[in-house]
Amino acid sequence: MKDIQSSADHRGIEIQKVGINDVYMPFMIKTKEGGFESVTSRIRFTVSLPKEFKGTHMSRFVSILNKWSGQPIAEPEMEKMLDEALYRLNATSAELAIGFKYFVNKVAPVSGEHSVLDLDCAFVGKKSKGENFIFELGVDVPFTSLCPCSKEISDYGAHNQRSLARINVRFRDGYDCIYIEDLAELVENEASCPIFPLLKREDEKFVTEKAYNNPKFVEDELRDLVLAMRKIEGLEWFSLECENFESIHNHNAYANHEEYIE
Amino acid sequence: MKDIQSSADHRGIEIQKVGINDVYMPFMIKTKEGGFESVTSRIRFTVSLPKEFKGTHMSRFVSILNKWSGQPIAEPEMEKMLDEALYRLNATSAELAIGFKYFVNKVAPVSGEHSVLDLDCAFVGKKSKGENFIFELGVDVPFTSLCPCSKEISDYGAHNQRSLARINVRFRDGYDCIYIEDLAELVENEASCPIFPLLKREDEKFVTEKAYNNPKFVEDELRDLVLAMRKIEGLEWFSLECENFESIHNHNAYANHEEYIE
Amino acid sequence: MKDIQSSADHRGIEIQKVGINDVYMPFMIKTKEGGFESVTSRIRFTVSLPKEFKGTHMSRFVSILNKWSGQPIAEPEMEKMLDEALYRLNATSAELAIGFKYFVNKVAPVSGEHSVLDLDCAFVGKKSKGENFIFELGVDVPFTSLCPCSKEISDYGAHNQRSLARINVRFRDGYDCIYIEDLAELVENEASCPIFPLLKREDEKFVTEKAYNNPKFVEDELRDLVLAMRKIEGLEWFSLECENFESIHNHNAYANHEEYIE
Amino acid sequence: MKDIQSSADHRGIEIQKVGINDVYMPFMIKTKEGGFESVTSRIRFTVSLPKEFKGTHMSRFVSILNKWSGQPIAEPEMEKMLDEALYRLNATSAELAIGFKYFVNKVAPVSGEHSVLDLDCAFVGKKSKGENFIFELGVDVPFTSLCPCSKEISDYGAHNQRSLARINVRFRDGYDCIYIEDLAELVENEASCPIFPLLKREDEKFVTEKAYNNPKFVEDELRDLVLAMRKIEGLEWFSLECENFESIHNHNAYANHEEYIE
């Protein structure tokens, strides 16, 4: 049966990325506590395609992923999948991005009630032939923000809302990536108040007053996070996006920032 | 060229609804002020299919819609499209649902600044042979809600958030449907505070304090809306859905209710 | 600390459904093979609220769900959660809907290669005081459809596309619900061709030719599924929605049908 | 009333982008035929924030946009809005991105029937103090792709599907940007077959056979588009993304490419 994909191409164009998108697969993610959490992942897996070939082999991407279906994956496993893609697809560069919902444990601030909070996370791995493996972690952390202007000018009350910080980090060679749990905590420390799925009345009083005592603009959240990120040892690059789903508008306050650390 | 769709079917199944979905088309919607607003509509258009025929004719739905592309549509035009579908597709019932973003004018409460607020709206028309035309209007109205429990138990502040009311209404024969603008105002009257795209500082003080003075659970919003709906003359049926995008949780408080008015 | 929610309400309106929406939590789902699969669930959990009370207690919904977080859930566990909600929230009816991606094993038709296919599924449970527990299963199954008209009128080729069947089923008392795997297979048997994540060239030839030999309109898919559903023993009710994401249009062909079986 | 936003900030961090997101507003877009089309736009509008200031003034973004609400906008108007933002918000750089659905006229290839096709489009404008205005146009164009491998190895038929090309372009100073209509046509010329909302039977035969005669991998679509883009006079940069919503899989074939033209 003819292999059309392997036939010669004469257009002279090397394709930067080609592969599969929106594939879903289950994986296991190592938790900070040392166990594993099952996640449902949405995947994009691509390679570069040399100008000599008409097409890549799409089924091989699925075949590579399949071996890890339902298995624990972290940085080393991401690199193995990329190495196999480079080899089996004759590519000079490969990229694998997986997104998944991950649950972290939360303890209500007064009652001590336990619950689990969902965070949208991403692992992105990149590998080029003869170069080091690059790994990026992305975590979206919801939190409460309370408006300093509204508090200042109003006789009572202050508008507040659900907000989201989207963080991506990349570490220098020789440094391990941070845990999802730690990145989430780092965001929550800079928020007007963290978010909890389960709050009893005494907790609700606590978070209401804490947010009121700790007003922050989207600019404050972003800047305080930048300062916190700069203190992380071994961090090479990060990007931040903060968004407040304003309670008084039908649109959002938004800020973003990206930084390479010397 | 053979018309496969018209060939006989022997499975004996009348299909309740068959047609096209996720078609987009521009229309004009009459505003309360008497002008017209251009909208981008997402459309589902279906008919029943008699058990004798293998298939309906999908291109005729598009052809019927095309005549109205870019034109003003309201109840009478929806009925004309349904009548044409009943006739051209040999159907006993037809349904046309269009969803669109519609902009209403808002005036900031203190500064008087003007701005436009986007509302997700829907027109749904239904017609069966020999029966009256049925028309339903749907409007999603964003507003601010402030939690009575949080206010009561906290020494200062109260959590508040963006909320959404989704309302659908149907009037009795002989009564005209309400305007989108009026339905939006009706929701805003029952909210802790309406939402405005443009607020100056004096307005922000006003809405912050107004919401604080007017705390409402999702249950309060729903009940107060039910009472308000019951007063609308000629209303035959309504459904309500209220959702608060809680600032202290990553999930929402939710309530719904449906009522036929005697 | 005052319990505002429990205070008396004088508006005289019993709320049909009130609770929490868009909560995420991990659960385990029993597979047909006898094991368990971890899933990430999106949840709506509501109760009715008697007209005497101002509000329900939102934290109790989370508290009830929490006990089952990460645990196996099926019909009996759904009923237990509803019973607890009825009791702890003083309600006369309760409803719990959870949606999740579930992976089923697929074997390529010629090469025999294994892979996993993601299906969007739902468990919906309803309970009213003194009445039987109602359980509904929903499964969305992707498949390939090939157009009979296009095949008939063209000298070669025929347009085909990805399609989706959305099925919901409810069984009579005394009958167990069908497995997700079986419902998926039932859809695939009526499709132009099933979908497989991993196909080698010999498989691709097989599925291309199989679809071409088995052309079906969206009406054919729906009717053949109706016939198949009617043969399921103990089935009390089903709803079907078929949608073809037409390769020759930017909109979809769509059909739906609902049936109570005598 | 105190202006908290203008108060001094001592963290020493200039924020790269801060502003409003997910604002909706109606605008008019000039068509190639010389008229105007009303669109519903989703907007992100940001500026840089000097390290000296605590916050930007969110209401001014809305105020700037408001003046253009319902008005025709193109490159010059985008630049005016950015200039006003630079001035009123004391910023050194500003960015305005608006996305909207735009309808283009399509004529069925045999019957000559007219219909309108919806395309997702974007205008992105960027301006830094003392630098030239940068304008980017983005257009997403749906089309039909037919698989060369499936055609080659199968005795009859070939799988085909709806596909999408996402194109962004930027022209050199002194060159006008291309029309949306022309960019759409450029994509359609390289597709297995264009997409039409309204097709009669004779048209359906035509598009079925045309696609079968013109098989293309996602790699072919991308490469042929790259070649076509390179011929556009004055083009400085483009990015391309092609995605096939495979009829035989539940995932997509995907390719992307970005190029600065010397």
Residue B213 CB partners (closer than 8 Å, separation 6+)? none
In the chain, the amino acid numbered A53 is F
D250 with C157: Cβ contact below 8 A: no
d(CA A191, nearest CA chain B) in Å: 12
C-beta atoms surrounding C145 within 10 Å = 31
Question: How far is Cα A225 from Cα A192, in angstroms, rounded to an integer?
Answer: 12
pLDDT digits (tens, 9 = 90+) for C110-168: 999 999 999 999 999 999 999 999 999 999 999 999 999 999 999 999 999 999 999 99
For residues D78-87, give the mean pLDDT. 98
Enter the tokens of residue B240.
């309500």
Contact residues on chain D for C204, CB-CB shorter than 8 A: 147, 149-150, 153-154, 159, 248
Contact residues on chain C for B18, CB-CB shorter than 8 A: 218-219, 222, 253-256
pLDDT digits (tens, 9 = 90+) for C176-196: 899 999 999 999 999 999 999
Nearest to C115 among A62, A199, A200 (CB): A62
A255 with D219: Cβ contact below 8 A: no
d(CA C59, nearest CA chain A) in Å: 6
In the chain, the amino acid numbered B82 is L
Question: How far is Cα C181 from Cα C185, in angstroms, rounded to an integer?
Answer: 6
User: Which part of chain C has CATH 3.10.270.10?
Assistant: 1-132, 139-262
Least confident of B232-236, D6-10, D11-15: D6-10
* Secondary structure (3-state) at A189: helix
d(CA A130, nearest CA chain C) in Å: 30
B212 with A157: Cβ contact below 8 A: yes
pTM value > 0.80: yes
For residues D124-146, give the mean pLDDT. 97
For A242, the closest chain D residue by CA position comes to D18
| Residue A42 φ then ψ, to 5° | -105, 130
For residues D133-145, give the mean pLDDT. 98
Longest CA–CA span in chain C (Å) reads 79
d(CA A232, nearest CA chain B) in Å: 27
Nearest to B116 among D3, D69, D103 (CB): D69
Query: Which subunits have 3 or more CB–CB pairs within 8 Å of chain B?
Result: A, C, D
The pLDDT mean for chain C works out to 96
Nearest to A254 among D11, D46, D222 (CB): D46
Query: Which subunits have 3 or more CB–CB pairs within 8 Å of chain D?
Result: A, B, C
Q: Is D64 left (phi over 0), alpha (psi -120 to 50) or beta?
A: alpha
* Secondary structure (3-state) at A215: coil
Q: Would the pLDDT of A80 be above 90?
A: yes
d(CA B257, nearest CA chain C) in Å: 5
Question: How far is Cα D101 from Cα D27, in angstroms, rounded to an integer?
Answer: 11
pLDDT digits (tens, 9 = 90+) for A249-259: 999 999 999 99
pLDDT digits (tens, 9 = 90+) for C1-48: 888 988 999 999 999 999 999 999 999 999 999 999 999 999 999 999
Contact residues on chain D for C249, CB-CB shorter than 8 A: 162, 195-197, 199
pLDDT band at A92 (very low <50, low <70, confident <90, very high): very high
pLDDT at residue C1 in the model: 84
For A201, the closest chain C residue by CA position comes to C1
Contact residues on chain C for B4, CB-CB shorter than 8 A: 148-149, 152
In the chain, the amino acid numbered B76 is P
Nearest to A17 among D153, D217, D255 (CB): D255
B254 with C149: Cβ contact below 8 A: no
pLDDT at residue D105 in the model: 96
ipTM score of complex: 0.95
Contact residues on chain C for B252, CB-CB shorter than 8 A: 20-22
Contact residues on chain A for C63, CB-CB shorter than 8 A: 113, 198
Give residue ranges of A with CB < 8 Å to any B CB.
Answer: 117-118, 142, 144, 146-147, 149-150, 153-162, 193, 195-197, 199, 201, 204-205, 207-209, 211-212, 245-251
B115 with D199: Cβ contact below 8 A: no
Q: Among D21, D23, D40, D43, pick the best mutation site for testing chain B contact (most B Cβ within 10 A).
A: D40
Quickly name the fold that domain B1-132 has: Urate Oxidase (3.10.270)
**How far are the Cα atoms of A168, B64, B237 from residue B132, in angstroms, in the given order?**
58, 20, 16
**How far are the Cα atoms of B114, B144, D21, D101 from residue D42, in angstroms, in the given order?**
19, 21, 8, 10
Among residues of chain C, what percentage have pLDDT more than 70? 100
pLDDT band at A81 (very low <50, low <70, confident <90, very high): very high
Give residue ranges of A with CB < 8 Å to any C CB.
Answer: 1, 3, 23-26, 37-40, 59, 62-63, 66, 69, 100-101, 103, 113-116, 118, 197-202, 205
Question: How far is Cα A143 from Cα C131, in angstroms, rounded to an integer?
Answer: 41
* Secondary structure (3-state) at A29: strand
Q: Which residues pair with D98 in a beta bridge?
A: D43, D123
Nearest to B199 among D25, D59, D118 (CB): D59
Question: How far is Cα C66 from Cα A108, in angstroms, rounded to an integer?
Answer: 13
Residues in chain B: 262
pLDDT band at B1 (very low <50, low <70, confident <90, very high): confident
CATH class as words, domain B139-262: alpha beta
Q: Would the pLDDT of A170 be above 90?
A: yes
